[in-house]
Amino acid sequence: MTGRAHSDDLIRAMTQRAPIIIFALDGEGKVTFTEGQGLEELGLMKDRTLGRSVFDLYKAYPEVSDPLAKGLAGEELNWSVEVEGTSYEVVVTPLTGGGLVGVARDVTDQLKAERALKASEAKFAAAFRHSLDSVLLTAVPSGEILEINKGFSLITGYGRRQAVGKTTLELGIWADPSQREQMFATLRKNGKLEGEEASIRSATGQIRECRLWGEVLEIEEVPVLLTVVRDETEQRSAERERVKFIAELEAKNRELEQFALTVAHDLKAPLISIQGLIELATEDLRADDPGSAVGNLKRIESATRRMSDLLSSVLALSRAGLVFDRLERVDLQEVAREAVEQSAAVAKEKLVIDISESLGTAVGDRIRLLQVYQNLISNSVKFMGDQKRPRVEIGARQVGQERVYFVRDNGAGIEADDLDQIFDLYFRRRHRSVEGSGIGLALVHRIVEAHNGRVWAESAGPATGSTFCFTLGFNEADPSPS
């Protein structure tokens, strides 16, 4: 076998096994040469195609015959076509003496892969654009933002034109830039980020509580960091509110339990006294001793009065946290004067009560605010101690943007350990000899809290006097309840 013959056989063997069709046409379009495994895939045998016109073979496929006609007319072509479910890329070259040679390559699998890739890219692009989570692509290692989605704009307030081409540091979206360094340290160590916490600053300066996921991808052989940022600000706020609500509910339940036990105890004591005094009064009358009977009846009256006062305090406390009858602008100087006039406690000899003209007005429920001043005045008088010149001052002071109202006395003062507990229900100060229901300051706390305000006590210690302060949180824009 000559070298040329061997070479021809080798080429023929290769083309017979390759998924291609090599062919030649004469000037009239008849097949003069054809070889390749692609023939079998089309169901065409070599000996049945030689000498036949391609216009007969492919008359049902004008997408094959029409370009071949242009090739025979001298035009060099490259096009794709699908025949019998198989996709081919066809290249034809005209010959100088007429006719042409061509190659048809099976690209079915390649086209399927390309279509699958395009579909995948389309899905990713749609998910990228429309995800409510923030998604951004940044160059590695420069950190330059390559692309962002709508979610990024919703969280940060920066649009595509403002963000692309800059780094996150240049945009200033890291409330704590050290978090960014920690993120990259984690990324270098683990190769990805999984739910890392971060505080993101928006264009308006608002801090959003977020969680980040990230991974470095190879896009066209270039490393790109894909980062997903989920805004959990509202979710975390709701969780904090839930925890706070549960804690408050548990505290209210404990208070209710204490309330029930204490009310039962405090009501039981005068009832026992009344029962005993009735028996004594009965014996006095049987013994014809009306003087002793009258004395015991007066003690019964005193016990019933204590029960009535306790029940009135309990009723007032139960209503303190309910909705208001009416919110209005209240003259606090007028309310303080009325509280002084209605308080039997101020009848104490030599007591001086000074009502400042600086009180002004505030929005609130007038009846409830009257209760606040009545209870604070009564408390000051009750714990005046042995002060020779008892004095109570009712006024207000401005602390920054906040208006602080106060009732100050020069009485017995408050132990430091009692300051944080003094507004607790039934808390008894260290002056055990002082009578009272233990409800008054708890009632003040409830009413002030219902006005969106705060209440606290100040004292330097025993014999230094006390100052009870409170704020009111309503303003003129707050509507009155219907």
Give the model confidence (pLDDT) of 235-291 as tens digits: 999 999 999 999 988 887 776 676 666 666 666 767 777 888 888 888 888 888 888
Cα 73 to Cα 280: distance, rounded to the nearest angstrom: 138
Angle between helices 440-450 and 366-382 (to 10 degrees): 150
Do the domain assignments include residue 125? no
Q: What is the mean pLDDT of residues 112-129?
A: 67
In Å, what is the CA distance from 163 to each residue of 45, 137, 215, 413? Answer: 62, 11, 20, 61
Amino acid at 147: E
CA 448 to chain centre: 28
CATH label of the domain that carries residue 459: 3.30.565.10
The whole domain housing 332 covers 328-470
Do the domain assignments include residue 159? yes
CATH label of the domain that carries residue 178: 3.30.450.20
Angle between helices 440-450 and 290-320 (to 10 degrees): 20
Confidence label for 479 from pLDDT (cuts 50, 70 and 90)? very low
Per-residue pLDDT at 481: 42
Residue that is last in its domain, among 320, 339, 365: 320
Cα 317 to Cα 27: distance, rounded to the nearest angstrom: 110
Do the domain assignments include residue 118? no
Q: What is the mean pLDDT of residues 107-132?
A: 69
Q: Is residue 312 pLDDT above 80, yes or no? A: no
In terms of domains, do 336 and 456 share one?
A: yes
On average, the pLDDT of the chain sits at 82
Q: Is residue 307 pLDDT above 50, yes or no? A: yes
- Range in 218-227, 272-281, 298-307, 312-321 the model is least confident about: 312-321
CB 54 within 8 A of CB 65: yes
In terms of domains, do 260 and 142 share one?
A: no
Give the model confidence (pLDDT) of 53-111 as tens digits: 989 888 888 988 899 999 999 999 998 888 777 888 889 999 988 999 988 888 887 77
Helix (H) and strand (E) counts for the chain?
Answer: 15, 17
Do the domain assignments include residue 114? no
In terms of domains, do 36 and 135 share one?
A: no
- Residue 402, strand partner residues: 399
In terms of domains, do 415 and 387 share one?
A: yes
Percent of the chain with pLDDT strictly greater than 70: 79
Number of domains making up the chain: 4
Strand 352-355 to strand 391-399: parallel, antiparallel, or no bridges (unpaired)?
A: parallel
Strand 328-331 to strand 391-399: parallel, antiparallel, or no bridges (unpaired)?
A: unpaired
- Range in 26-40, 219-233, 318-332 the model is least confident about: 318-332
In terms of domains, do 345 and 408 share one?
A: yes
Do the domain assignments include residue 293? yes
Give the model confidence (pLDDT) of 14-29 as tens digits: 455 556 788 889 999 9
CB 156 within 8 A of CB 200: yes
Cα 148 to Cα 229: distance, rounded to the nearest angstrom: 11
In terms of domains, do 314 and 357 share one?
A: no
Do the domain assignments include residue 481? no
Residue that is last in its domain, among 172, 199, 231: 231
Using the structure block, give the residue that is written with the tokens 């080429």: 11
Do the domain assignments include residue 368? yes
In terms of domains, do 462 and 369 share one?
A: yes
In terms of domains, do 315 and 377 share one?
A: no
Per-residue pLDDT at 387: 84
Using the structure block, give the residue that is written with the tokens 């101690």: 385
What is the end-to-end Cα distance of the chain in Å, rounded? 112
More confident residue, 453 or 12: 453
Exposure pattern of 27-40 as b/e (b: 16+ CB <10 Å)? eebbbeebbbebbe
CATH label of the domain that carries residue 247: 1.10.287
In terms of domains, do 352 and 435 share one?
A: yes
Give the model confidence (pLDDT) of 380-421 as tens digits: 988 888 888 999 999 999 999 999 999 999 999 999 989 988
In terms of domains, do 176 and 266 share one?
A: no
In terms of domains, do 333 and 456 share one?
A: yes
Residue that is last in its domain, among 74, 108, 142: 108
Cα 107 to Cα 81: distance, rounded to the nearest angstrom: 10
Do the domain assignments include residue 195? yes
Per-residue pLDDT at 149: 86
Provide the 3-class DSSP secondary structure of residue 288: coil
CB 460 within 8 A of CB 419: no
In terms of domains, do 225 and 243 share one?
A: no
